[in-house]
Amino acid sequence: MLRKNDDAEVFRITGARQGLADDVRGRQRRYVISMSVRTVSVVLAAVLWNVERHVAIVALVLGVLLPYVAVVIANAGRENAPSLPTTFVPMPMRPAVEAAPAAGRAESAGPKDAGGRVPPPKEHS
């Protein structure tokens, strides 16, 4: 009786990065957009060469440099998710436990204050 709801919103509850297929699809999309801009700039350089030489040279330089930039961006690899929780969990600081004084040593330790502790030794001048 359970029906699959295709319109259900899916929430991401882990720090896992996106799937490989999504990552490749995104890199391909960025590459195609970059190559489209390159194509437009080369065509613009050809059209404007005799009309506005400065703009044509800038478009031509953009058309020459964009393939290198697009390939570097496309081959950069998978992105690291900056919001991943850390896997390092520091150990809690445990207070140091002092050894209980032995019965024989407690009597020879000298005078004690009201709390049963031995006062620190006095400095001699």
> Which pLDDT tens digit goes with each residue over 86-99?
566 677 777 777 77
pLDDT tens per residue, range 99-124: 777 665 545 555 666 666 766 667 66
Counting the structural domains of the chain, the total is: 1
In a domain, 44, yes or no: yes
The answer to whether position 65 is within a domain reads yes
pLDDT score of 20: 80
DSSP 29: H
Q: Which domain holds residue 60?
A: 20-74
- For residues 73 and 32, give the distance between their C-alpha atoms in angstroms, rounded to a whole number: 11
The pLDDT of residue 28 is above 80: yes
Residue 48, domain member (yes or no) = yes
